[in-house]
Structure 1
Amino acid sequence: MASIVRIKRFVLTPPKILVLGFAAIILAGSFLLSLPIATHDGQGMSWLNAFFTSTSATCVTGLVVADTGDTFTLFGELVILSLIQIGGLGFMTFSTFIALLIGRRISYRERLLLQEALNNPSTQGIVRMTKMILLFTIITEFIGAVLLSSRFAMDMPLKKAIYFGIFHSVSNFNNAGFDVMGDYRSLTAYKEDPLVSLTVCTLIILGGIGFVVFSDLLENRKHLKYITLHTKIVLSTTAILIAGGTLLIFLLEMHNSKTLQPLSPTGKVLASFYQAVTPRTAGSNTLNIPDLTHPTLLLIILLMFIGASPGSTGGGIKTTTFVTLFGAAWSQIKGKEDVVFFRQRIISSMIYKALTVILSALILVITVTMLLSITEHEGNFLKIMFEAVSAFGTVGLSMGLTPDLSPFGKIIIALTMFVGRLGPLTVAIALTKRNEVESYRYPKGKYLIG
C-alpha cells in the first residue's frame, strides 16, 4: 500500500513575523553601521560590533561597545536614532502608519499582528489605537526635545543643542538609553539639574507605562472610575516601584562620597529619583554606576528585571507579571484560594502565564550569567550578572563590562537583548510548535510542595 506523505506548510504566525521582522531590521542596521560613512575613522565598524550596536538600538537597550558620540558620524547617529524609534514603537506600528498615509486599508491579518505587537487583548479599535500611539509619540518627543534643547543651549551652540535635545528625547521616550554626550558620560553632568532630570524621567515613565494605559485613560478621561484593572495595576505598581526605589537609593547612597554625599539636598533627591526611574529599562544615568554600593546595585538589578509595563517601549518581565505572582504568593500565605486586585478576581490562566514568563526569564538570566562567567574572565560576578539582567531588561546600564566583552560575549548579550525586547514567551512560541487542544484530561494527582 502506497504511503501518504504530508507536507506541512510553514505558517507565519504573528509571533514568528515579529521575530523575523525585528531580525531583518537588525541586519539592515548592521549593514548601515558597518559602512565607512557611519564612523569618524572612515572605516566603519566591524560587522560584529555593528551587529551588537544595531541590536542594542533596535531592542531599545543602550548597551554599547563604543561610545556613540565619539565613534559615529551624523549619519551613524541618525541610523541609530531611526533604529531606536522603529524598535521602540515596533515595525508593525510604522508599517501601519505608512499604509494609512498612502490610503491603504489595514487587513485583518495586519490587525492581528498589531494586536500581538502592542500586547492588546483584542483587535477591536487597534487601528485607532495605533493612530493615537503615533500622535502621542510625536507630541511627547517634541515637547521633550524643546525642553532639553533649551537647557543644552546654555552649554553648547544652538544647532548642536537642538540636535542633542531631539536625540535624547527620542532615546529616552523609547527607553533606549543611548546618548551622544561622549566619553561614556551619559547625563552625569546634569545630575543636579532639575529641568534635564525631570524631563528625561518623565519621558522614561511615559514610554514605559504602556500605550494601552494611555488609550484607556483617554477613553475614560471623564469617568476615571471606569478605567480597566490593567491600568489600575500598572499605575499603582509604577508609583510604588519609583517611590520605593527613590527612597532606598537615597538611604543607601547618602553617605557614599562617590555618588550622593557631595551633592546638595535637592541634588540628592533628583539623583535618587533619576536612578530609581532609569532601571525601568531606560539606561541613561546621572550617577556613575560602578561607584554605587553593592546594595544599590542589587536593588537596580531587581528593578531592571521587573522592567516596564506591557505594550510599552520597555522590557523586563513587566510590572503586571511581577504583581500577579506576588499576589498569588500573598494569597497562599493568607490561606485564600483566589488572587484579588481592586475587588476583581484574577483568572488562573493569567497566574500560569505570569509564572511561565518569570521562570523563562530567570532561566535565561541564569544561563547568560553562567556563560559570561566562562567567557569574560576579567569581569567579577556582580558585574557579569548586572550586564546579563540589563541586557534581558533592555535597560542599557552597565558597570563597564560592555566595551570589554569578548566576541562570544557580544553575541550572547546581543541575543539576550533580542529575546528581552520581544519577550521570552513570544520567542518561545515563535520557535516551537503549538500542540493541538487535547480532547481528554488525566486524573488529578497530588504531591508535597515546599
Structure 2
Amino acid sequence: MISKSKDRKKPISPPKFLALGFSAIIIAGTFLLELPLSSADGTRTPLIDAFFTAVSAISVTGLVVVDTGTHWSTFGQIVLLILFQLGGLGFMTSATWIALMLNRRISLRERMILQEAMGQYQIQGIVDLIRKVLVYAFTIEGIGAMLLAFRFWREMPFDEALYLGIFQSVSIFNNAGFDLLGSIHGPFAGFPVYGTDPYLNIVNIALIFLGGIGFIVMFDIMEYPKCRKLSLHSKVVLSMTGALIVIGAVMLFLLEFNHSAAMGHLSLPQKIMASIFQSITSRSGGISTIDIESLQQSSQFFLIMLMFIGAAPGSTGGGIKVTTFAILIGAVIAMIKGKRDVVLFRNRISQAVVYRSVTLTVLALIVLVGFSMFLAATEDSQFLAILFEAVSAFGTCGLSMGLTTDLSEIGKITVAILMFLGRLGPLTLAYALNRRGHKELYRHPEGRIIIG
C-alpha cells in the first residue's frame, strides 16, 4: 500500500508535462479564438475552425481553414501572434522568462523540463541558455519587423506597416507561416504577390534560415570569432542545411524551369530566387512565393521529402530534423563500407543516438502512413495532395496544395492531431505516454535473422 501511494505522488515526467502544457494552451487559444471579439465581423467562429487555428498557431505550422488577414479581428490576430510566439520559443521558455523577470528561482524540476524542451543533453547552464534564446529571438524579430515595415510603408500608413511588419516578422522567424496579406491583396493571397520582390525575399529568407538552424547554432556562430571553434552539432546542422538548400534549389530550378504555370514566366534571376526561397521554406517556413498547387507533381513530391526532413533541433521548425537525417545517412555509409561506427566530422556517434534517430524516423513514417490512409478515406482529393498536406502538418511546415480549406470536420481534426504530434515530436509523445521503464536485469540470447 505504501509503494502504491508513493507511485501516485511521483511527479509528471518532462515529456508528459510538455504534452499537457501544449494541450492546455491549445484549449485556451481555442476558447479565445471562438469568441465573437476575435472575428472581424463580430460573429462566433465555429469551434472546429477555432480549434484547428489554435493548434496550427501553437504548433507553428501555418495551415489555415480561414484567411488570417480578413477573418480575424485585431484581437484575434494578437491572440494568434502570442500563440505562435509561445509555440516557436516553447511555453516553458516563456514561463522561465517571466519567472526570471520576477526574480523567482528556477527549480531543478523546471530545469529538467527545460532540458527536455530544448533538446539538450545536460542540465548545466540551461537557464543561461534560455536568457540568450529570448534576447536573440526578440532582437532578430525586432530587426525583421523594422525591415519589413519599411517595405510595407510604400503601400500603407506607417502604423499599419509597423503592425504588419511585427506580425510577419514574428510569424516568419518562428516558422509559423501565418500572414495578413489577405487584407491587402484578397483572401489567401499570401506572398506570391511579392514573388519578384528581391528585398522581401532576402529578408524573409534570412528570418526563415535563422529560425530554422536553432538557437544553439546561432550561439556557436556568435562565439566563433572568439573561440574559432564550432561544436559537432553546429557543424552537422550548418553543413546539412546548406546541402539541402543547394540540392533543393537546383532540383526545383531544373524541374520548373520551363513550366509556365509556376516559374516558366519568370526571368532567370527570378527563377533562381524563387527556387532558393522554396527550397528554404519547404523545411518548415510555411510561406511561399509561388503557387504550390501549380508545381509539377515531381516538384511537389520533392517538397514532401524536404518537409519530412525539416529544420534543426532546438529551432522553431519541425520535421525529423536535419541532424537525424545526417545520422541516418552516416549509418547507411558506415554499413556500405563495412564499418562498425557512424562517424561525422571525425566524431563517433553513440549507438544510443543512432537507435534514437532510427526510432524517430520509423515512428514518423508510421504516423504519416496511417494518417494519410485515413485522410484518403475521409477526403475527396488526389492522394498526392493528401500526402502533401499530411507531411506539411506533421513537419509543421504549413505549405499547402489547397486541400486544407476544403477539409471535412473529421479531416480538420485529423490534420490538427498531426500538427500537434509534429510539434511535440513522436518520440517525446511516446515517452510521455509510456510508463517509466525499469532497468533490465538480464539479456536474451542473441539470435540470427537473414535480411536483405
TM-score by length of 1: 0.97
Structure 1 residue 316 displacement after superposition: 0.3
Structure 1 residue 161 displacement after superposition: 1.3
Q: Deviations over 1:265-299 (max 9, x none)?
A: 22111111111111111111110010001111011
Runs of 4+ in 1 over 4 A off after TM superposition: none
* Match in the other structure for 1:289: 292
Q: Deviations over 1:28-80 (max 9, x none)?
A: 00000000011122112111110000000000000001111110011111100
Structure 1 residue 351 displacement after superposition: 0.8
1:141 matches 2:144: no
Contact 1:129–1:215 (Cα < 8 Å) also in 2: no
1:193 matches 2:197: yes
Alignment of 1:377-392 (within 5 A): 378-392=380-394
Gaps of 5+ in 1: none
Question: Matched residues, percent identical?
Answer: 50
Contact 1:147–1:195 (Cα < 8 Å) also in 2: no
Alignment of 1:272-421 (within 5 A): 272-376=275-379, 378-421=380-423
Give the match's secondary structure for 1:340.
Answer: strand
Alignment of 1:10-409 (within 5 A): 11-182=11-182, 183-224=187-228, 226-376=229-379, 378-409=380-411
C-alpha distance in structure 2 between counterparts of 1:437 and 1:394, whole Å: 35
2:441 to 430, 439, 442: 439
* Match in the other structure for 1:6: 4
C-alpha distance in structure 1 between counterparts of 2:221 and 2:148, whole Å: 27
Gaps of 5+ in 2: none
C-alpha distance in structure 2 between counterparts of 1:60 and 1:221, whole Å: 32
Contact 1:60–1:174 (Cα < 8 Å) also in 2: yes
Equivalent pairs, count: 446
Give the match's secondary structure for 1:345.
Answer: strand
Structure 1 residue 5 displacement after superposition: 8.4
C-alpha distance in structure 2 between counterparts of 1:22 and 1:360, whole Å: 21
10-19 or 215-224: bigger deviation = 215-224
C-alpha distance in structure 2 between counterparts of 1:342 and 1:5, whole Å: 48
Give the match's secondary structure for 2:141.
Answer: helix
C-alpha distance in structure 2 between counterparts of 1:108 and 1:86, whole Å: 22
Give the match's secondary structure for 1:286.
Answer: coil
C-alpha distance in structure 1 between counterparts of 2:130 and 2:251, whole Å: 37
C-alpha distance in structure 1 between counterparts of 2:376 and 2:156, whole Å: 42
Give the match's secondary structure for 1:221.
Answer: helix
Contact 1:120–1:212 (Cα < 8 Å) also in 2: no
C-alpha distance in structure 1 between counterparts of 2:147 and 2:269, whole Å: 20
Contact 1:250–1:269 (Cα < 8 Å) also in 2: yes
